[in-house]
Amino acid sequence: MRYKNIFNLGIAISLLTCSPFIGAQSQGKLKIGFMLPATGTYAALGTAIDNGFRLYVNEQGGKIGGREIEYVRVDDESDPSKAADNVNKLIKRDNVDVIVGSVHSGVAMAMAKAAKESGTLLIVPNAGAVAVTGPMCAPNIFRSSFSNWQPGFAMGEVAAKKGHKKIVTITWKYAAGEETMKGFKDGFEKSGGSVIKDLTLPFPNVEFQALLTEIASLKPDAVFTFFAGAGAAKFVKDYAAAGLKKSIPLYGSGFLTDGVLDAEGVDAEGILTTLHYADNLNNKRDQSFRLAYAKTFKLQPDVYAVQGYDAAQMLAIGLSATQGDAKNITTFAQALMKSKIDSPRGTFTLSSSHNPVQDIYLRKVIGKENVNEGVASKALADPGLGCKM
Ligand code: BEZ
């Protein structure tokens, strides 16, 4: 009898020590600091990211890397001037294990600086700031979304193939707009096209009228634009109301029409954009993701929801390898670098600067969908200029 008890105790001890998540249990809850906009022109984008992230976590039974999750949320208002304070509160006051954010490139750059200095794990679920996976890159910084350059470059090549020669660009004057336009020029001008004028207005200004009048007088072959969220909806409506839609084709990076088609209505019909997601990809992963998202949130998902879902998925891949330890950056990064991430957008890998290498789709608005018209750029990688790990 005594031997039997000792034997059972031995089995219990060896089961416990062999459990992959034994370390995870002793570490307690994983504190995730969400720094996303809950107000302002990008508010809906923040909500979709938050939804997508929680959907993935719930599919895993509420745990990542064997640890239950505690969320701490900050509304960053898409305001770069408040970003350093906001992120430092999450890192220093709330002692989060991981930070997730943000939507706005200027806010994300402040987050990347703080993450680099503190060594805290950062996953960027939208903001495309080139610097984050360029000069500011670091072993503990990852992106589940795109760089601003990627959709711009893909559309530059599409516009050149369509035979356009003279293009006017219009966008908000901050990193996302400027870097998207740089990508567009890189793709467009190598084939002999030229951008004859770059029009800008400050973020998040939506007084487009004077600039639309200027476009009419410049008479370009086409217009290329970056706007997103509520600002994108207003731009698409104003462009049509100014009578330009009939005479000057409007192209955009896909944020122009993603998540905003209800607000844009018929004014968006037929617009061509480039992005790493579309509404009818019909791969198995996407089908189950779209069903689950619609059932849970009574909403159709968009690119932002996909990026949130994949941010959680990337965190899970890394933390499974470290048994829930968010400080073991080397093992976390190694696991992600050798993974193919099974995203609703199609599988993607990470570049050496930790940015997705992914297909960029050409999409056309038909009714309430951004319909896939084929791959515009296969496995497109951001150049990652200036990144030294
Ligand atoms: C950005 O600021 O990087 C951004 C914002 C909204 C959509 C896409 C990019």
Q: What value does the mean pLDDT of the chain take?
A: 94
Ligand 1 atom showing the smallest separation from residue 42 Cα: 6
CA angle 340, 341, 342 (to 5 degrees): 110
Could you tell me the distance, in angstroms and rounded to a whole number, from the CA of residue 98 to the centre of ligand 1? 21
What pLDDT is attached to residue 248? 98
- What is the mean pLDDT of the segment spanning 106-121? 98
The burial of 61, by beta-carbon neighbours within 10 Å (0-12 exposed, 13-18 middle, 19 or more buried), is given as exposed
Ligand 1 atom showing the smallest separation from residue 78 Cα: 2
Q: Which two tokens stand for residue 365?
A: 């608005």
The yes-or-no verdict on residue 52 having pLDDT over 50 is: yes
What pLDDT is attached to residue 7? 41
pLDDT, tens digit, 9 for 90 and up, residues 220-273: 999 999 999 999 999 999 999 999 999 999 999 999 999 999 999 999 999 999
**Cα separations in angstroms, 218 against 170, 199, 215, 221, 318:** 13, 11, 5, 9, 51
The yes-or-no verdict on residue 3 having pLDDT over 80 is: no
17 vs 315, more confident: 315
Closest residue by Cα to atom 3, ligand 1, is: 127
Beta bridge partners of 366: 369
* 351 pocket-lining for ligand 1 (C-beta < 6 Å): no
- What is the mean pLDDT of the segment spanning 22-51? 91
Residue ranges per domain, the chain?
Answer: 28-146+280-354, 149-275
What pLDDT is attached to residue 27? 82
What pLDDT is attached to residue 31? 98
User: pLDDT exceeding 70 applies to what percent of the chain?
Assistant: 94
Probe target for ligand 1 pocket from 255, 307, 360, with the most ligand atoms within 8 Å of CB: 255
The yes-or-no verdict on residue 9 having pLDDT over 60 is: no
What pLDDT is attached to residue 22? 55
The yes-or-no verdict on residue 181 having pLDDT over 50 is: yes
Stretch among 11-20, 155-164, 274-283 having the lowest mean pLDDT: 11-20
* 228 pocket-lining for ligand 1 (C-beta < 6 Å): yes
Task: Round to whole Å and give the CA distance between 352 and 1.
Answer: 59
pLDDT, tens digit, 9 for 90 and up, residues 290-322: 999 999 999 999 999 999 999 999 999 999 999
What pLDDT is attached to residue 282? 85
Q: Which two tokens stand for residue 144?
A: 């589940």
Fold classification of 28-146+280-354 (topology level): Rossmann fold (3.40.50)
The yes-or-no verdict on residue 99 having pLDDT over 70 is: yes
Architecture per CATH, domain 149-275, reads as 3-Layer(aba) Sandwich (3.40)
- Do domains 28-146+280-354 and 149-275 share one topology? The answer is yes
Could you tell me the distance, in angstroms and rounded to a whole number, from the CA of residue 325 to the centre of ligand 1? 30
> Torsions phi, psi of 40, nearest 5?
90, -175
- What is the mean pLDDT of the segment spanning 365-387? 98
What pLDDT is attached to residue 21? 54
What pLDDT is attached to residue 378? 98
Stretch among 17-26, 118-127, 299-308 having the lowest mean pLDDT: 17-26
> Torsions phi, psi of 35, nearest 5?
-115, 95
